[in-house]
């Protein structure tokens, strides 16, 4: 059977390759693969199953953790934002999900909750400068000690933090955050012996001193560049998601005729315009301007006019032989997601996350790879 069109091929061989790149960079760290937001749009359960060499997983929400447990996943699963109410706390404990504690309220809740069984392998988050989640450096150690004393948690309790600017290689804030974290750890011998974690993808690739006991790769697993100014290929990463569609019609238009809503683009000459069956209803960014890259029969052509819900138009002047049914790649193999993200004035993270469920994911090993 032919694949549906459009579709997103998910190359599990590339995924495993990218995990191996994580391990090459951080050979002495355990790996907590970040698979929040449906594994960055790639499919939560399929990606978890393929990451056999990952030591643990991290997600953002309770529902994501429960879904993994229900599918039989037995490795540690960390909820990066912890929980905000007792019912969620009880469900997390019952499902053996690990929690991040980042506020005093969460500690109080834990003290008073009646849990089916104790939590295992939890983390305290310290805010070293991101100013999103976390205890201040002054309060993180006491929070960690409270958790250590509590009978509601058994097993390791780690200390983690998160970089604000790791994607910018020479940003001095990275060093300041790292120093604050090291200073905190140095305050207590017991804490120094506990698991420690700071590095996301960008830090894994650029800051060995941040690797510590656990690294937390997300974007790089999916073969998209986490570093400003570096391509995924330069970093040795292979694209996992390739979004494909097809030419569904070809129009021969005259000079001056416009295409699409708003008539924003007019043919500069008599020419052929191709219609492709993908649009913002699939998560193809509507803000992509005329001139953005689309791969038709393996060659780059230019998007013209506005992106519709179900269709886009392309300039076929350099594709005299293109015909209905010919293959199109929107991003992935042959057209890096980073390029499309840049043209859409967004980031690779958003591009892959926003691909909608209308686009079926097709899982395979080695597609298009030698
Ligand atoms: C999302 C997330 C990560 C992964 O970040 P990438 O840049 O995708 O590698 C790591 N740690 C935390 C706390 C996160 O929220």
Q: What is the pLDDT of residue 153?
A: 96
Q: Is the CB of 218 under 6 A from ligand 1?
A: yes
Ligand 1 atom showing the smallest separation from residue 217 Cα:
9
According to DSSP, residue 332 is labeled: B
Q: What is the pLDDT of residue 3?
A: 80
Give the Cα separation of 107 and 148 in Å (integer): 11
349 is catalytic: no
Catalytic residue among 36, 125, 196, 238: 36
Ligand 1 atom showing the smallest separation from residue 226 Cα:
7
> Tokens at residue 362, please?
């097709």
Q: Among candidates 119, 192, 125, 123, which has minimal Cα distance to 154? A: 119
Tell me, in angstroms, the distance from the centre of ligand 1 to residue 220's CA. 10
Give the number of C-alpha atoms closer than 13 A to the C-alpha of residue 181, restricted to the C-beta side.
Answer: 29
Catalytic residue among 117, 125, 238, 261: 261
Q: b/e map of 316-326 (b: 16 or more CB within 10 Å)?
A: beebeebeeeb
Q: What is the pLDDT of residue 1?
A: 56
| Residues 301 and 319 sit within 8 Å (Cβ to Cβ) | yes
pTM of the model: 0.96
Q: What is the pLDDT of residue 151?
A: 95
Query: What phi and psi values does residue 116 have, to the nearest 5 degrees?
Result: -60, -40
Q: What is the pLDDT of residue 369?
A: 46
Q: Is the CB of 102 under 6 A from ligand 1?
A: no
Helix (H) / strand (E) containing 338: helix 337-343
Give the Cα separation of 271 and 267 in Å (integer): 7
Q: What is the pLDDT of residue 294?
A: 98
Q: Is the CB of 201 under 6 A from ligand 1?
A: yes
Tell me, in angstroms, the distance from the centre of ligand 1 to residue 326's CA. 37
261 is catalytic: yes
- Per residue of the chain (370 residues), what is the pLDDT tens digit? 568 999 999 999 999 999 999 999 999 999 999 999 999 999 999 999 999 999 999 999 999 999 999 999 999 999 999 999 999 999 999 999 999 999 999 999 999 999 999 999 999 999 999 999 999 999 999 999 999 999 999 999 999 999 999 999 889 999 999 999 999 999 999 999 999 999 999 999 999 999 999 999 999 999 999 999 999 999 999 999 999 999 999 999 999 999 999 999 999 999 999 999 999 999 999 999 999 999 999 999 999 999 999 999 999 999 999 999 999 999 999 999 999 999 999 999 999 999 999 999 999 997 554 4
Task: Note the residue count of the chain.
Answer: 370
Q: Beta-carbon neighbour count of residue 269 at 10 Å?
A: 9
Q: Among candidates 75, 122, 128, 124, which has minimal Cα distance to 102? A: 124
296: helix, strand or coil: strand
Tell me, in angstroms, the distance from the centre of ligand 1 to residue 218's CA. 5
Q: Residue with the nearest Cα to atom 15 of ligand 1?
A: 80
Q: Residue with the nearest Cα to atom 4 of ligand 1?
A: 218
Q: Among candidates 135, 133, 150, which has minimal Cα distance to 184? A: 135
| Residues 105 and 99 sit within 8 Å (Cβ to Cβ) | no
């Amino acid at each position: 059977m032919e694949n549906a069109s459009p579709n997103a091929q998910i190359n599990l061989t590339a995924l495993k390759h990218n995990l191996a790149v994580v391990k090459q960079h951080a050979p002495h760290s355990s790996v907590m693969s970040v698979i929040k937001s449906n594994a960055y749009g790639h499919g939560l359960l399929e990606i978890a199953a393929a990451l056999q060499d990952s030591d643990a997983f991290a997600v953002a929400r309770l529902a994501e953790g429960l879904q993994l447990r229900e599918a039989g996943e037995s490795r540690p699963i960390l909820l990066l934002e912890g929980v905000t109410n007792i019912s969620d706390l009880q469900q997390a404990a019952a499902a053996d999900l690990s929690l991040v504690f980042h506020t005093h309220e969460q500690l109080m809740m834990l003290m008073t909750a009646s849990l089916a069984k104790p939590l295992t392998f939890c983390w305290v988050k310290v805010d070293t400068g991101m100013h999103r989640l976390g205890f201040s450096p002054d309060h993180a150690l006491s929070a960690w000690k409270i958790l250590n004393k509590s009978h509601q948690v058994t097993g390791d309790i780690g200390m983690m933090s998160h970089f604000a600017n790791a994607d910018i290689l020479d940003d001095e804030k990275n060093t300041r955050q790292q120093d604050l974290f090291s200073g905190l750890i140095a305050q207590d011998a017991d804490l120094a012996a506990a698991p420690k974690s700071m590095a996301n993808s960008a830090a894994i690739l650029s800051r060995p001193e941040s690797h510590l006991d656990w690294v937390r790769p997300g974007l790089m697993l999916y073969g998209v560049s986490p570093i400003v100014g570096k391509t995924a290929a330069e970093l040795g990463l292979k694209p996992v998601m390739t979004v494909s569609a097809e030419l569904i019609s070809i129009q021969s238009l005259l000079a001056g005729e416009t295409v699409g809503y708003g008539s924003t683009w007019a043919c500069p000459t008599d020419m052929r315009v191709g219609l492709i069956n993908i649009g913002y209803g699939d998560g193809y960014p509507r803000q992509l301007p005329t001139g953005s890259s689309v791969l038709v029969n393996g060659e780059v052509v230019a998007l013209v006019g506005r992106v519709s819900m179900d269709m886009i138009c392309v300039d076929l002047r350099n594709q005299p032989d293109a015909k209905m049914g010919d293959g199109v790649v929107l991003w992935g193999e042959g057209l890096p997601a980073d390029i499309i993200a840049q043209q859409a004035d967004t980031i690779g993270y958003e591009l892959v996350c926003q691909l909608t469920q209308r686009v079926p994911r097709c899982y395979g090993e080695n597609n298009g790879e030698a």
